[in-house]
Structure 1
């Protein structure tokens, strides 16, 4: 007879299987990314054959180490439990600056150096110094320009959208879209007021906000959000939650938008009628809502469309573009989304495309559904926009059913 107690002891003493390299890398990814962001530029600028005078290399290295240590600490104090705005500003700025510096250290460190070598320009040390000054110059220009782009009032982008099921009475309906305002540690109350003035100048029938109002609770960012109460629309002002609301007590934002006169479309719809024709305007909570644990919050398209005539055209507000698969399956005519920021700081858009089907603009999905993805009205985190300008969008809906001209 087999002694089962010995078997159990042997099993208990057996070594645990070794975790794969991929699993270990994934575990340490939060540490690897900041190290690369600071170590690569440090190597390219200081240790790639430049032979700088003695004070330059150690002082420069110390600055990179300070950035490497200071950035995550500042971000934890700024976005963690303490929510210290000054720390968030420092951490976010360092994050954006390190990303731009890393990007151009890699690109110019490889391609400019190769071009200079092929062209036979100077010695190896000369080429290394040219690359260094080029990286610093490009980074400084892009950060300065990117800061101005992030802080300015967005330009209005107008686009005509033809919806085959739209009735003639609704032709020319003007829909203004703002999204991802991200009121946050940098006080943008004046910017917010100017954005709202720009929206009011559009004389829109319907004004939409597709989420990510702010980073922080409604109580904390109330002053920056209050200008939204001045927005005018001839028919309706509607709002849906974004993923950032679910980091910051989403129900508080829903209540504040309701107080400011916006209609939160939480898995429901309203009917917009003009000229004898009707448009269903529906909205869903963000796809992250259910995992937030907040009671009653989830993305429920069937609930949003419940009771609507299936023969009527549908305009859907959903924060994330990837919701379009569900929208197309339900026969939605047009989905309005934000979330991507157009990548915000190039070339981050490549990482955005891993998670989202579209970066920006108008796209077709399925047999009927159109998706418009805004690059966003504000910015998240780093106060920079590089090759991804913000926007306020005016969509003019067009019907194919206009009566023939006499």
Structure 2
């Protein structure tokens, strides 16, 4: 079955119970991150921009001001991306939900049922898991999630928008053609508010659907139509179950080193004062996260050394620890600036399917402590429980948590409007 037929035909009642449960938890996790992202300067800027340049009738989540569908997708996509705590997919080398969810919420008609919305969300995760890998195979450049997220959002969003099969193919072609082929490693080397391109990808998907609906035509989406080998498991193997989640709101590449520091800290009853410096062996891309003294939350999120130092000092890494106002702790900076990074052939060979790291603490009293090779927690093979994800969501969503959680957990039996009301 091809991506277009699969997306049109999928039914909630035909999904495995594990997939249904994961759809709810993925949605909840994304919304929790969105609440945290809303407090950032990035989100404030992009929401003001959307209101000024893309006015319309859709109220922005947690904001209330009216924007167009494209402005909504842009602002919410970048708000989620403003805090790097959302789910991801190892083969994609990126994040499906972040560009997907804003496009779906922007385009869903008021009469949409929650069941229809959740079903389309699952379809989007399955399409995104495959179109991302297909796109990576077309070019040696490592592109952001927004690039292939545009095509993903267009295919899934077309279902909610009621496009015909022919219009859907045009929407996918428009989105693929105009999608932001932004280079990921440029943002890694120079962390800014550009982030993972997800907001621009969501806006491109939404715009492509609206254009196709009006009769605008697009070339075939070759990452879908010309890559049959990538689609053979569609509908039989559920990639939404192979997503990873993030216990900490920083780049996935830094999470293995964080886990290593926390493991040694707990096992040996250490404090930061016991440690002279930290050494991390890992893969090339993680080493490129090289900002030791971040000036902004974007630089802190795209760093390996800084959140590792935070973990050693605080025993955790929370959104407040990497906020713009929390970047000048002298003990954290001491450990961050003294941290030594070493590239490993073993870790390089396993990337992107596995993100290995090994941590050594050099103690002030003399001697060293070293972990085994380890991967980030909450990986596809070590999934978090629903209780762990709910704990994270409640911490991130704060006072908004109860109403959003109630709406999401009952969404397959309620209209989508119950959720959009909770986001007001």
Q: Same fold (TM over 0.5)?
A: no
TM, length-normalised to structure 2 = 0.24
Q: Which of the pair has more CA radius of gyration?
A: 1
Q: Which has the larger helix fraction?
A: 2
More strand by share: 1
